[in-house]
Amino acid sequence: MWQRFSQNRKSEVDVEVDENGIIIDEADDDDEEDLSEMLSNYEFEASTEHQPTRFEDLIFEDDDHEITYGRRIARYLTEHGYTWYNPRAANDPDHCGNEHQEETKNGEEGNIDNTLTQSERNLLVEKRGPSLDSAWAYFEHIALPRKLCGNAQYGENVNSYKADPGETMLATELYSYWTTPEDQLGDFGIGIGIYFLSMRIFSCICFIAGLLYIPLIHYYRSDDYSKGPHPNRDSWVLRGSAICTHTMWVPCPTCVEDKDKFDQNRLAIGILETDGDDDGNEVYFALRNLCGGNNWEQGLNHLGVTLFMCVSIFVLSWLLHKGELKFDEDNLTASDFSIRVTDPPEDATDPDEWEQYFSEHFGARVVYCTIAMNNEKLIDALAKRRTIAQAIIHILPADLKGEKNAILDDDEELETVAASLVAESPPTPFWKKCLQPLGLFQDAVMLKDKFEEINGEIEELLKVKYKATNVFVTFEYENEQRTVLSSLSVGKLWSFFNVAGKCDFPFRGVHVLHAEEAAEPEAVRWIHGLDSTLVRRVSQFLVTIIPLVGLLFFCGYIVAKVREQSVFWSGMMISIFNSIIPIAVRAINGLEIHDNEGYAQASLYFKITIFRWANTALLTTFLAEFTDTVSDEALINSLLAVFIAEIFTSPLIQLLDPVNHLKRHLKAPRAMNQIAMNNCFTGTFYNIAERYTNMTKIIFLCSWYGVIFPAGYFFGALSLVVQYYADKFCLLKTWHVQPRIGDEISVLGRLYFFPVVLVVMSVVGSYYWAGFPFDNLCSDNMESTIAVGTYMLQFKNETSSTFNWTSLDEGNEAIYDYKYCNQYFLGEFPAIGTEYERASADNGWMSDDQYTMSKYYGWGSIAVLVLVLLHYLQFIVKLGRSLFYGSWTDSGEKDSGERYSDQGSISCFVPQKKHRSFEYPLIACDIDLIEKKHISWSDPVKPYSTYSLVRDAKHVQKLAKEQGREVDESNIVFAPIKHWPPSNKKKKKKSKSKKKLKAVVE
């Protein structure tokens, strides 16, 4: 890759590299340090003569063995001139042979000659048209994650294999699906690493639980439980479930009083058929389940699995906590060296003042200081100005489109072009003007007016006195960060009310600071997030719960209607809602304000988890009639449909990714320009919170229905394994690179949601155990006196059938009359007490073994619930204590002893705004005095200054001054950021060897 880049770009250093892109030239200490500094600070803005104008001019010549299979297919079809695939295949700029050589001046084949002027180069690029291979290169080098090749960071410590998006200074390659170990997935963030670790452990837990349930599965499969043959009972999948097909109609004379409490298919009026007499005796018959009751052996089996799950989740939580520390120790990031001050004085906008405070009071060496401001309206207005400028460029006439990059970079030229467009544009038809408020048919006049209006708005916003809202400070060593956090840890009440006497190191002698460990720089939400209050965030969270409840009721209504037609397809409908409703939940969650991506994902995780748990388990249970719990073609069949969707349907759709494949192979080749083509290659955007909820949903489902469908644990283990490998493939090959997030979701899961799984398994299991045989019938302890004969059964739904009543059961014993009795305890807690006493009486439905085990289960569920409540109580106590005492504690992570300045792939806190109209973030601060290697992304073609909003603001101020208006250039409107490099990293006097260094860096 370095050699390919050398055709287009040269730096001021000359080094020797091997075939893998590793620098191998020997140098003395001074030269090595200067070389390392030049490499780290390198930015693509040397001169127009050597400036690449297109992304493909840098890296489109990736070897076939280095690229994705999709790009290989696209190359093959384009090179062979298949215009049905790529309409430009006949004259594709990257695969058209020598057709374009005549258009260059003394240039090499397939490349743009560096002797051309910028205007000539732009015109030539425009004439050649967009490059499909360039768009694929954008996909592989910007959208997809890449890792460094070997020790690619010369003279620096490699602590993470993951490369920054757009990295061209160092040799990189795509992650391998087959050889990337799980430990390396932590490079994507602690949250990603813990997610895959959790799935692997949970799949093992579910598989072992399934093995432990084999005695109960064998019992359900045997004739001791159900003798009734049925096609579904013969299925190997359902034979291990509690489906009961061994039933019998029994007389229930008193059921006429409780007929509304029975399902329409389980209660009927029986009319005795007699010869010559249509008016036979009428009596109510109810359908009784004859499946064997659960004995103490099966009870102990379930109790043993419950204990195993309790121990396993406890061990899992411990392992995940250790995993969090391991992933954090293996990957040094800015968060390990940085703190965030959430309540600085509003006028504390001088980074030097903060550096002096930390060095004098704590002896800490500050490397970076970034002060966030409440300038969201200004940043939004500057971003809007950029979008308007882009819209003006899109309507340029053909003869000027080759100059669009130069026009965008020159604000004065942009205004001149806009004015000329207005003068030359024809009148806009009335019908188009009517649609312009909707953003359609925007002409030059409208865009020029918008541009002038936004300039005026920005001019006014530049006069506002902005306040400091947060301060991010990065130290040279990890132990300095921990010392500061420990020393500034005070009660939240004292920092809120600024009680200086409670703090040993007040800022300016009077301000009590609240400091915490900073999130990762790329995870910080700089715009509309950092200045929000706790009350505002909590109120927004509660408000967004309301539409979530509405969505749940809507889904319940639709599933209920589908269930009336097919139980199986109602299960499929549940899975469909589990896939599409999170899209709406993400939109709802977007209404909340969070200061970093980790907390936003945690909030999303909470909402989607609640929805999927309710939609998958609660909805399935409450929509089904209690007496259908073990009926064929009822509850368990819908569970099977959910598991099938989780194992096959959802992962298959995820892997096929039809929408994005159509965009890359159908829409992209027909795009009108390179930007539109690149937008088809942004990759699939995903939420790690949604992936977490898939995992917890499966665990919750297995635990909820473990008693009646123990084989579900095998299905759960299989679905987790499939999800593990499907998500790993998508993470490395199709998903767009996301900000690195911390352990917020993992902590929320292991501390709050996993204990709920234990409660569900113990409490719901006790209810199911007490509810056998799920027919709401109890013996009246009186032999039936109903006349023997053939009865016509008439059901509530006006259907009818006949059966022969013999008054004797299969053992030739007299059949008793039955009566209605409530076996459904799910609405009561605990499932012990008076109902159990009635159930165990002579006329009850429970055997002695079932009664004894149910009683143990009832008290056991109470014990588990109490333990979990105590677990939650300790967090409430901890929260209360934090109001008066410092709450910071050392996580136990080992101190690496490494210096921040020695880390090559580590970021600093650079305020920026992400906008869907731009491929890269817009920088909202002055970065002239910081090391560019500490910015978490890079554009291989354009310099960082292209994305700086500071430049836009300066132009607006310049225009105001030219028009005679006052401008306060001393007003601090952007986030101040300053870098203090270590003394031994400062630039030294150039040596002779450095003066003659002239090499290719790629």
Bridge-based pairing of strands 282-289 and 338-341 is: unpaired
Which of 871, 903, 932 represents a domain boundary (last residue)? 871
Q: Is residue 532 part of a domain?
A: no
Question: In the structure encoding, which two tokens stand for residue 12, read together?
Answer: 């001021």
Which of 133, 152, 174 represents a domain boundary (last residue)? 174
Q: Are 220 and 298 in contact (CB under 8 A)?
A: no
Which of 871, 891, 912 represents a domain boundary (last residue)? 871
Same domain, 281 and 350: no
SS3 653: helix
Query: What pLDDT, on the 0 to 100 scale, is given for residue 340?
Result: 95
User: What is the count of structural domains for the chain?
Assistant: 4
By CB neighbour count within 10 A (0-12 exposed, 13-18 middle, 19+ buried), where does 6 fall?
Answer: middle
How far apart, in whole angstroms, are the C-alpha atoms of residue 736 and residue 435?
34
On the CB side of 765, CA atoms within 13 Å amount to 33
Where are any strands of DSSP class E within 213-281? Answer: 247-251, 267-272
Q: Is residue 219 part of a domain?
A: no
Q: Is residue 851 part of a domain?
A: yes
State in Å, rounded, how far the first CA of the chain is from the last one.
6
CB atoms within 10 A of CB 623: 18
Q: What are the beta bridge partners of residue 366?
A: 475
Same domain, 405 and 454: yes
Same domain, 276 and 386: no
| DSSP state for residue 631 in the 8-state scheme | S
Query: What pLDDT, on the 0 to 100 scale, is given for residue 805?
Result: 76
Q: Say which amino acid occupies 465.
A: K
Same domain, 156 and 108: yes
Same domain, 443 and 477: no
Q: Is residue 884 part of a domain?
A: no
Q: What are the beta bridge partners of residue 157?
A: 903
Q: Is residue 937 part of a domain?
A: yes
For every residue of 31-57, DSSP letters joined together read HHHHHHHHHHH--S-S-GGG---STHH
Same domain, 30 and 122: yes
Same domain, 74 and 108: yes
On the CB side of 936, CA atoms within 13 Å amount to 24
Same domain, 841 and 802: yes
How far apart, in whole angstroms, are the C-alpha atoms of residue 34 and residue 44?
18
Same domain, 346 and 443: no
- Check whether the bond before 981 is cis (ω within 30° of 0): no
Q: Which of 542, 651, 558 is nearest to 607 (CA)?
A: 542
Q: Is residue 557 part of a domain?
A: no
- Check whether the bond before 253 is cis (ω within 30° of 0): no
How far apart, in whole angstroms, are the C-alpha atoms of residue 300 and residue 853?
8
Same domain, 10 and 121: yes
Question: In the structure encoding, which two tokens stand for residue 517, read together?
Answer: 């460990």
Give the total residue count for the chain. Answer: 1002
Same domain, 339 and 397: no
Burial 957-971 (b: 16+ CB within 10 A, else e): bebbeeeeeebeeee
Q: Is residue 317 part of a domain?
A: no
What are the per-10-residue average pLDDT scores of the chain (1002 residues)? 32 40 42 41 37 48 81 91 87 49 40 49 58 89 85 44 78 88 88 94 95 92 75 62 85 82 82 64 84 79 90 92 86 91 94 95 95 94 89 65 55 64 66 68 75 91 94 95 92 86 89 92 88 81 89 89 80 84 88 88 91 85 82 77 86 91 93 83 89 91 90 94 95 89 88 88 85 85 76 77 70 73 72 52 70 83 89 89 84 83 86 85 91 85 88 90 86 94 56 32 34
SS3 84: coil
How far apart, in whole angstroms, are the C-alpha atoms of residue 223 and residue 765?
23
Q: Is 774 left (phi over 0), alpha (psi -120 to 50) or beta?
A: left
On the CB side of 342, CA atoms within 13 Å amount to 21
Same domain, 147 and 33: yes
pTM listed for this prediction: 0.81
How far apart, in whole angstroms, are the C-alpha atoms of residue 160 and residue 329?
11
Q: Is residue 524 part of a domain?
A: no
Domain range holding 800?
248-296+777-871
Q: Which of 743, 671, 906, 657 is nearest to 143 (CA)?
A: 657
How far apart, in whole angstroms, are the C-alpha atoms of residue 131 and residue 251?
80
